[in-house]
């Protein structure tokens, strides 16, 4: 095989590109990664900039919740596998829990509390083992401006205290939710990809390609 021939050429070294390179290298492929910017730069020209990313199982769609449950297992396996490359020595996936609260009838681009709770209920009703169940806590009615709640979460745009609007406020807590440490995981993927012999070009934009 000539040196400029690859099994896989990945255009864009964001977190998805780097993860693809990781899996391809693990399966013995010859990999090239091409990135238009400087790999590892903390500038926010890309989606994979180094702030944390929310990781949650609360979705309106059952397939998304199931997908996250499966991918969480994969995150843990990858974290274990990339330990020697994890220079920052931080966990990739933290499980501090994910709490949603607000008007249960409101739908946003993130979803809807009532629908997400229904999805968890559906998964649990078809679960055959304890492991297949999704742990969660649904509070149908938040206490009207409960002082503990207000102190803990300092929410914005809450209804005036003692109005009936509180009647539709609910909360859905899921203990395994949390965040992805983009910086630690991205740097570990990058270390792996460079160490395992991928050809990596950065500051090199792909301007054209041809299929054969
Ligand atoms: C503000 C914000 C908040 C988010 N919050 C969450 C969250 O809470 N939870 C969650 O799961 N997801 C979240 N996401 C989504 C998640 O961050 C992205 O889906 C993910 O980072 C995408 O990674 P990527 O590798 O596909 O793309 P990118 O990180 O965008 O990487 C694409 C790369 O391709 C390079 N490139 C582009 N064109 C070329 C070219 N012609 N030649 C070579 N290289 C090129 C770019 O420079 C870039 O580095 C959020 C995204 C944003 C922007």
Q: 34: Cβ below 6 Å to ligand 1?
A: yes
Could you tell me if the CB of 64 is within 6 A of ligand 1? no
How many other CB atoms are found less than 10 A from the CB of residue 8?
A: 16
Q: What is the pLDDT of residues 109-157, one digit of tens each?
A: 999 999 999 999 999 999 999 989 999 999 888 766 677 777 777 777 7
Domain boundary assignment for the chain: 1-52+181-212, 53-179
Positive/negative CA dihedral, 116, 121, 122, 127: positive
Among 6-20, 30-44, 160-174, 191-205, the least confident range:
160-174
Ligand 1 pocket mutation, candidates 9, 40, 48, criterion most atoms within 8 A of CB: 48
**Thinking of the domain 1-52+181-212, which architecture would CATH place it in?**
3-Layer(bba) Sandwich (3.50)
List, in sequence order, every residue forming a beta bridge with 94; answer none if it has no partner. Answer: 179
Q: What is the pLDDT of residues 39-73, one digit of tens each?
A: 878 776 678 887 889 999 999 999 999 999 999 99
Q: Pick the range with the lowest mean pLDDT from 41-50, 93-102, 114-123, 165-174.
A: 41-50
Neighbours of 138 (CB within 10 A): 18
Centroid of ligand 1 to alpha carbon of 16 (angstroms): 8
CA atoms within 13 A on the CB side of 61: 6
Mutate which of 38, 44, 46 for ligand 1? The one with the most ligand atoms within 8 Å of its CB, which is: 46
């Amino acid at each position: 095989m000539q040196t400029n021939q690859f099994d896989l050429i990945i255009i864009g070294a964001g977190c998805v590109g780097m993860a693809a390179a990781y899996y391809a290298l693990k399966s013995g492929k010859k990999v090239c990664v091409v990135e238009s910017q400087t790999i590892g730069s903390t500038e926010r020209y890309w989606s994979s900039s180094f702030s944390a990313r929310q990781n949650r199982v609360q979705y309106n769609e059952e397939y998304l919740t199931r997908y996250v449950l499966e991918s969480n297992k994969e995150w843990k396996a990858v974290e274990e596998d990339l330990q020697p490359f994890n220079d920052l020595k931080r966990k990739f996936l933290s499980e501090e829990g994910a709490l949603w609260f607000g008007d249960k009838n409101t739908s946003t681009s993130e979803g809807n509390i009532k629908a997400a709770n229904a999805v968890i209920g559906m998964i649990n009703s078809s679960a055959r083992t304890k492991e297949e169940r999704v742990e969660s806590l649904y509070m149908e009615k938040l206490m009207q401006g409960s002082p503990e709640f207000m102190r803990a979460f300092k929410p914005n745009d809450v209804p005036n205290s003692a109005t009936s609007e509180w009647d539709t406020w609910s909360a859905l807590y899921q203990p395994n939710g949390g965040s992805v440490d983009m910086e630690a995981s991205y740097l570990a993927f990058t270390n792996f990809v460079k160490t395992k012999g991928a050809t990596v070009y950065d500051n090199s934009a792909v301007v054209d390609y041809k299929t054969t």
